[in-house]
Amino acid sequence: MYVFYDKETLKNCFLSSFKVKDTNQWYDFVIYKERNDLLAYVNFLSNVKGEIGYNCVKFDAQVQQWIIDNVKRLILLPTDQITYEIHQYATQVIEKSNNRQFLDFPEWKLYIPQCDPFLINHYDNEAKRTSLKWLQFGMNWKNLVEMNVDHNVGISTQEELANLIDYCHNDVDSTENFYNITKGLTENSEYKGKDQIQLRKDIGKLIGKSVINWNDVKIGEQFNFINYTKATGKSKDELYHDKREAYQQLIYLKNTIPPYITFKTEILTNLLNRIKATSINIGNDTFKESVTIGHSTHNMGLGGIHSNESFRKIVIKPNQILRDADVGGQYPSAIVKRGLYPKHLSPIWNEQIKNNINERSKLKPLAKTNKSAASWSEAYKLANNGGGYGKLGEVTNWQYDMEIMYSVTIGCQLEILMLIEDLELNGISVVSSNTDGIVSLFDKSKEELYNKICKEWEVKTNSTVYGKLEFADYKSLIQASVNDYLAVKLDGSLKYKGDFEIDKLLHKNKSRRIVPLALKAYYVDNILPEEYIRAHKDIFDFCCAVRADSTMSLYTLNGLDYTKQQKTCRYYISNSKDILLKRMKPNPKKKPKMQYDIFGNLDIGVREHQVEAGYHVTLFNRYFDSDNYNINYDYYISKVYSIINNMKDFNIQEKFI
């Protein structure tokens, strides 16, 4: 039997709730006062073949394995001593995790195999770390509730125990929903049809080890590691020794520039010379350059190039073409075509990246109908991107080499600038650039010239096989910035990014989804924002969320009455009387005024900031159905018009370098 599960480890109460995957039957095991389900709990586990939980590998399964290993001793103790020891161990697990220490039970030591969508989606990564409560907001989960009991204190009544079980069931149900999303069973376009669980089962069979809880980057990195060590006979220790020996603190950017980089104009020639004279002290120095070419200013950095346009609308005229040109597989292609590899490794590493690209190109046409081909194709992709190029900049990885990483990023930016220069010199306006591509606006009479320049660029940059340009034509491009836009393709399909995204990855903030929906309705379907918003019925699309960190608490204020709220609050802007506040911890440098503020409260040095300044809110942590949610529609309409009214029509004027 396979189960979804969650645990609560209070000082005086232990709860483990299970939901059987195939039957939806619930099993709750409690140790509290006179109730001791310890033996029943351990016996139940003997029939479980696999468990699915949220952050279960690094918490729930650790506690569970410790209980299994200590059950003969624990069963002789009174219930309050059992719960106290479990609570103490759970606290140690949390402390070790927070301090990035090794836990007692690696996965291979766990009695029951685990499936952890938290790890699969890389939410243990600091940049993506996400609580289940925040995911509940992203999933439009009906009950976004937090436990209002202190784990270090515990509960005191049977009613509180019943509430604890309900809370645990809610978390288990939402974990099941997140598991289904991870399997691609959702309408969210970021996940729909992408079965990350099955993919890991297939890849595990292909490489001969379980990867069920590995994130994409780890899969790619291990794929490279296995292949490289097999091809070279090098051990892990040897690779890391060689890496340490080859370490460079100072990088001279002249060594990162491809020999074929040349420019025709003085402004770009001077830029190239400045870059050649630049050195980077790893961890201390940065790199920024900016150059204006034609209608656009392009900013360079150590990561990538991007233009800096904002709030403009480009709608093609009958005689115009608005064309996006992207470099296919830009970074892996740059590595292959330039023969790059970390200096402590051998050319075999480069050959493997090349092989990954070649094999994936063969498998892609088969991937839709052949499951094995799809899995291998994805493995090759992961090995080239996050597992290959992405690891060049990770100091703890065996592939680490910052000079090679900068050779990729700086070289690719200069290649893009070569293409921009040639197009602009021939009267073709490049209106946008972003890391791996450009968008150009030009008269149809220049299409043949445009194609010729692009072909010549592919030859100059050795991109006729790896890194060829891929094209898409737009009807219109609506941009708030280079990273926030809505593009309408000639075939009517849409491309969203940033503030215009309708579906987001769940760790991102989807607050006010009604705004990008209304923008799409306005720019694509010609529906006025006020019409669309007032007719929209899904209350979740009006919702926002705010999280309190360790430095603050959330409160609602109604009149003079403060009510403390949970750490993650979902709400919508309404015509109610409630104000949502962030109350910061007292600033020791701020002296109390000992006078009454506008709310009639004595100023004792507490700092407060209003969430949604100037507006009232209705909390929506628990779903409720209503014919009239009392939404402040004007707030959302104004948000949409703040974008629309700032948009300026873009027209080409003759402007050369």
pLDDT tens-place string over residues 264-294: 999 999 999 999 999 999 988 889 999 999 8
Neighbours of 319 (CB within 10 A): 9
Domain borders along the chain are: 2-182, 202-245+345-400, 250-331+405-521, 544-619
pLDDT one-digit tens code per residue, 62-107 = 999 999 999 999 999 999 999 999 999 999 999 999 888 999 999 9
pLDDT at 656: 46
Pick the CATH number of 250-331+405-521 from 3.30.70, 3.90.1600, 3.30.2220, 3.30.1640: 3.90.1600
Burial category of 92 from C-beta neighbours within 10 Å (exposed 0-12, middle 13-18, buried 19 and up): middle
What are the tokens at 284?
A: 């201390």
Output DSSP code: residue 540. G
pLDDT at 372: 76
294: left (phi over 0), alpha (psi -120 to 50) or beta: left
Residue 371 is predicted with a pLDDT of 73
Residue 657: predicted pLDDT: 47
- Cα–Cα distance measured from residue 220 to residue 207, given in angstroms and rounded to the nearest whole number: 11
pLDDT of residue 596: 56
Among 366, 344, 340, 362, CA closest to 353: 340
Stretches in the chain below the pLDDT threshold 70: 586-606, 652-657
Distance CA 98, CA 91 (A): 11
What backbone torsions phi and psi does residue 505 show, to the nearest 5 degrees? -60, 145
In 501-623, the DSSP E strands lie at: 544-547, 552-558, 561-564, 568-574, 579-584, 607-611, 616-619
Identity (one letter) of the amino acid at 569? Answer: C
- The answer to whether 526 and 553 are in contact (CB under 8 A) is no
pLDDT at position 380 is 84
Q: What are phi and psi of 221, to 5 degrees?
A: -65, -45
**Closest by Cα among 608, 629, 623, 630 to 564:** 608
pLDDT of residue 375: 79
How far apart CA 32 and CA 156 sit, in angstroms, is 10
